[in-house]
Structure 1
Amino acid sequence: MYSVFQLGKKYLRYYFTAANGKGHGVHSPFVFSLITKVLNDATKYPAYKEIETQRNLLLGNETIITVEDFGAGSTKGLTKQRVVQQIAATSLKPKKYAQLLYRLVNYFQPKQILELGTSLGITTAYLAKANPSAAVTTMEGSTAVATIAQQQFDALQLKNIAVVTGNFDETLQPLIDKAGQAFDFVFIDGNHRKEPTLRYFEQLLAKANNDTVFVFDDIHWSAEMEEAWEQLKQHPQVTLTVDLFFIGLVFLRKEQKEREHFIIRY
C-alpha cells in the first residue's frame, strides 16, 4: 500500500496529465457519451439522500463486532474487534464514487449485478437503487459485517439484493458455476492484491458478455494493484479501459475497432 504522500504525488500527476473531464478531445463516441451523460451528470437523485442518511447513521454506530479479514495484508482466519463507525469511516466508498456507481448502473441498466466486497452495504444500496429490477448479488467475507449491511438494505426497503458470505476464494467459483445468466455489471472491491484481482477477473469472464462493465476499485492503491491494472489493460478480451484514478472501468466491447485506454480527470 502506498503512503498518503506517495498516493498524493500520484494523484497530482494523474490530475494534470489526464484528459479533460468535460470530454474535449475524446474521439470515442462511447467514451464521450460516458463522460457527458454519466461522469458529468449533476442530477441530485432522490436515492442519494436516502442512502447518505444510512451512511451517517453508520458513522455514529458504536456497536462492536468481530470481523474476519481476508483482504490485502491479512491472514486467512484472522479476526479482530471493530467498531462499526470505524469501519464506516475507513472502508466505505466516498459518496462521489458511490454515486458514480449509481449513475453507471442507471446509464447501462444491467440486469445481473455482482459486487465483490459488500462492506457495510452503502455501495450495494447505490447499485440496487439505480435499477430496482436488477438482481444484485453482493459478496462479503465477514458475516458480522454482512449482517450490518443487511440492516441497511432492510431500512432502505431493498428487496433485490442477495448476500453471499465467506472467503471469495471459496465462494466465488460456486456462485459462477450456478449462475444462470451472465453478470453484466461487476464491481470488484474485495481484495486489493494483484493475484486475486486478476484471478477473479479471469473466473468472471466465464459469466460475462459483450456488454459487461467491470469496475475495479483502488487501481492505484499499491504497486501491485497498478501492476494488476496494467495487466487488465493488456488482456486479450479487454478492448477499452477508463482510468479515473480511484476506480477503473473495463469493457469487452467487440465493436471497438482498436484497443483504447483513456485516463479521464474526475
Structure 2
Amino acid sequence: MFQIIQYIKFLFKSTNQHGVHSPFVYDLVTKCFYNSTKYSHYSRLKNYRNSLFKNKSTIKITDFGSGSRVFKSNERQIRAIAKNSGTSLKRAKLLYRVVNYFKPKHTLELGTSLGIATQAMALGNSENSIISAEGCPNISGFTTHKLSEENIKNATIKTGEFETIIPKLKEESYDLIFFDGNHNKAATINYFETLIDKTHNDTVFIFDDIYWSKNMLEAWEIIKTHPKVSVTIDTFFWGFVFFRTEQVKENFKVRM
C-alpha cells in the first residue's frame, strides 16, 4: 500500500523531458532513458532472463539484506528468484543504455543476485570492468558459472558481506556504482557515505527500489541533501545521483 500511494504522488509530481531545463539531464532523458533504438544485445538480455525462468533447480539462500517479501524459506528455485527478485527486462535494457551512454570503465555493483543487471552492464560497454559483490555463496557460485556460460568476461563476482568487501576495493574511484543489495535505510546511507570517497566529477550512483519502504525513501531524501550531490533523478524504481560540480543543485522526478 505504501508503494501504491507513493507512486500516485510520483505521477502527479513527475515530468517527461519537456519539464527538464538542465541540458545535461535533458540529454540523458532524451538520448538514453527514452532511446527507442533496438540494440542487438537486447536479445541476449532477453535470452539470459528466459534461461533463468526455465531453471527449476533449487538453491539455498543466505540473505544479509532486508529479506524477501515473497519467500518464506531459504530454499528457492532459480526460476522463482528470477521471477520475483530479478531485474525486469525493461530495467535491464535501461541499465544497458545507461552504460552505453556514459561508457564507464570501472563499475561496482552491490548485489549480484542472478546476474541480470551484471550482464546488462557488461554488454553495455565491453571496456567496462565490473566488480560485483554478492553475499550469498551459493548465488555467487551459480551466477559466476552462468555469466561464464554467456561469455561475459569483464565482470568479476566477489563473495561476502558488503562491509567486508568495500574496504578491500582496489580502485581509487568508480565511474558507476549500482546499489542493489540491501534495502535498509541505515545500510544504504552507510554504503553511500563510504563509497562517496570513491567518486569523481562524472561518477553516477544508481539506487534500486528507493520506494521499497518508508525507511528507504527516508534514506533517499537524506542522500539528496548531501553537499557533494549536485543532481538527482527519481524514476520511482531507481534513483540516480550525480556529483558534477558544474551543475546547479537540482532534483528531478522523471516518468519512464
- Residue equivalent to 1:90: 84
Q: Distance in 1 between matches of 2:141 and 2:39?
A: 27
Total equivalences in the alignment: 252
Q: Distance in 1 between matches of 2:94 and 2:45?
A: 13
Deviation of 1:6 after TM superposition, in Å, equals: 2.7
- Residue equivalent to 2:8: 12
Percent sequence identity is: 44
Q: Distance in 2 between matches of 1:252 and 1:241?
A: 9
- Residue equivalent to 1:58: 52
- Residue equivalent to 2:227: 236
Q: What secondary structure does 2:210 align onto?
A: coil
**2:103 matches 1:109:** yes
Alignment of structure 1 residues 128-147 onto 2, 5 Å: 128-147=122-141
Deviation of 1:206 after TM superposition, in Å, equals: 1.7
Contact kept? 1:101, 1:123, Cα under 8 Å = yes
Q: What secondary structure does 1:68 align onto?
A: coil
Q: Distance in 1 between matches of 2:158 and 2:42?
A: 25
Q: Distance in 2 between matches of 1:100 and 1:34?
A: 12
Higher mean displacement: 213-222 or 82-91: 82-91
Deviation of 1:73 after TM superposition, in Å, equals: 4.1
Gaps of at least 5 residues in structure 1 are none
- TM-score normalised per structure 1: 0.91
Q: Distance in 2 between matches of 1:68 and 1:107?
A: 34
Higher mean displacement: 190-199 or 8-17: 8-17
- Residue equivalent to 1:253: 244
- Evaluate the alpha carbon distance shift between residue 44 and residue 152 of structure 1 in structure 2; reply closer, same or farther with a 3 A threshold: farther
1:36 to 27, 30, 34: 30
The ranges of structure 1 where at least 4 consecutive aligned residues each deviate by more than 6 angstroms after the TM superposition are none
- Residue equivalent to 2:187: 196
RMSD: 1.3
1:150 to 138, 144, 150: 144
- Residue equivalent to 2:163: 169
Gaps of at least 5 residues in structure 2 are none
Q: Distance in 1 between matches of 2:136 and 2:24?
A: 38
**2:62 matches 1:68:** yes
Q: Distance in 2 between matches of 1:161 and 1:57?
A: 19
- Residue equivalent to 1:160: 154
Q: Distance in 2 between matches of 1:46 and 1:163?
A: 25
Deviation of 1:167 after TM superposition, in Å, equals: 1.0
**2:20 matches 1:26:** yes
Deviation of 1:174 after TM superposition, in Å, equals: 1.5
- Residue equivalent to 1:265: 255
Contact kept? 1:51, 1:156, Cα under 8 Å = no
Q: Distance in 1 between matches of 2:85 and 2:67?
A: 15
- The one-letter code sitting in structure 1 at the alignment partner of 2:66 is A
Contact kept? 1:54, 1:152, Cα under 8 Å = no
Contact kept? 1:103, 1:130, Cα under 8 Å = yes
- The one-letter code sitting in structure 1 at the alignment partner of 2:131 is T
Q: Distance in 2 between matches of 1:69 and 1:191?
A: 9
Q: Distance in 2 between matches of 1:165 and 1:183?
A: 19
Q: What secondary structure does 2:132 align onto?
A: strand
- TM-score normalised per structure 2: 0.95
Higher mean displacement: 147-156 or 98-107: 147-156
Higher mean displacement: 50-59 or 6-15: 6-15
- Residue equivalent to 1:215: 206
**1:28-69 Cα shifts (integer Å, max 9, x gaps):** 000100110011101111111112111111111111111111
Q: What secondary structure does 1:125 align onto?
A: helix
Contact kept? 1:63, 1:83, Cα under 8 Å = yes
